[in-house]
Amino acid sequence: MNHATAVSPPRRLRADAARNQQRIIAAARELFAEHGLEITLDDVAERAGVGVGTVYRRFANKKELISEVFEQNIDDFAEATEAALQNADPWFGFVEFVEYACRHMAVNRGFSEVMLELEDGNIDRFVTVRDRIKPRVTAIVDRARDAGALAPGIVPHDVFALIHMVDGLADFAKPVNPDVWQRYMAIVLNGVRADGTPRQPLLVPPLTDDEVERAKGACGGRRR
């Protein structure tokens, strides 16, 4: 008689272990968003309210935790691009995508850093992100341009570059005016629109001279 050995399915985490894992991931998402990739697993443990050993039992190193957290972020990003494609108005679908991307990167410092690293292919687990997101962004851009809402010649690479520009301003101004990026996003959208397309209102005032000087000082402090 042939006694075949059955392969056991992966064991499910106990309820308390599963809760701890979710607390760790939630804490890591908050910390990466606030401080970028320079945080430590000790920081995550403290924010999650668990012991450092608990974090290391779930994630062998910070790279594993980054992969877990930002896979969730990328899933959210992919869903946002799909929602923008479903918008009945091509221009407002384009605006919806740009606003989501700018907002997400402006408030999530770690995601912005990971997206920049993706351009060099440094994180293997996310190499396929272009295959998931770029075709949808291309469709969003092409649809708005074909509808005559987006200026001729604008391509997806331009859009990603403009989003990074807004993100750079958001990072600079965040310590003194965390919402001012919305003004420059609107200026960007107005700049790429086709003639006759409604402009985005500039609802947020520009940085004041005092805010610029304080932002410079805060920027210098972050570089030490």
Instruction: Look up the CATH number of the domain holding residue 30.
Output: 1.10.10.60
As a whole number of angstroms, the distance between CA 161 and CA 178 comes to: 21
- Same domain, yes or no: 54 and 73: no
In contact, 175 and 218? CB cutoff 8 Å: yes
Give the model's pLDDT for residue 127: 56
- Same domain, yes or no: 46 and 75: no
Structure tokens at 224: 């030490």
Give the model's pLDDT for residue 74: 81
DSSP H helices, the chain, are 15-35, 41-48, 52-58, 62-86, 90-107, 109-118, 129-146, 156-173, 181-192, 209-223
As a whole number of angstroms, the distance between CA 32 and CA 137 comes to: 25
Q: Is residue 34 in some structural domain?
A: yes
The amino acid at residue 217 is: G
Give the model's pLDDT for residue 86: 95
| Total number of domains in the chain | 2
Mean pLDDT, contiguous 10-residue spans, the chain (224 residues): 46 68 88 83 90 87 82 85 96 96 83 63 56 88 95 90 90 89 95 86 88 82 53
In contact, 163 and 98? CB cutoff 8 Å: yes
- Same domain, yes or no: 32 and 56: yes
- Same domain, yes or no: 45 and 140: no
Domain around 172:
65-223
- Same domain, yes or no: 171 and 103: yes
Q: Is residue 6 in some structural domain?
A: no
- Same domain, yes or no: 128 and 145: yes
Which residues fall within 8 angstroms of residue 97, CB to CB, at 6 or more apart? 80, 81, 84, 137, 140
Q: Is residue 4 in some structural domain?
A: no
Give the model's pLDDT for residue 4: 45
Structure tokens at 101: 């991307």
Q: Is residue 5 in some structural domain?
A: no
- Same domain, yes or no: 22 and 98: no
As a whole number of angstroms, the distance between CA 70 and CA 28 comes to: 10
Enter the pTM of the model. 0.74
Q: Is residue 52 in some structural domain?
A: yes
Q: Is residue 95 in some structural domain?
A: yes
Nearest Cα to Cα of residue 45 among 64, 63, 26: 26
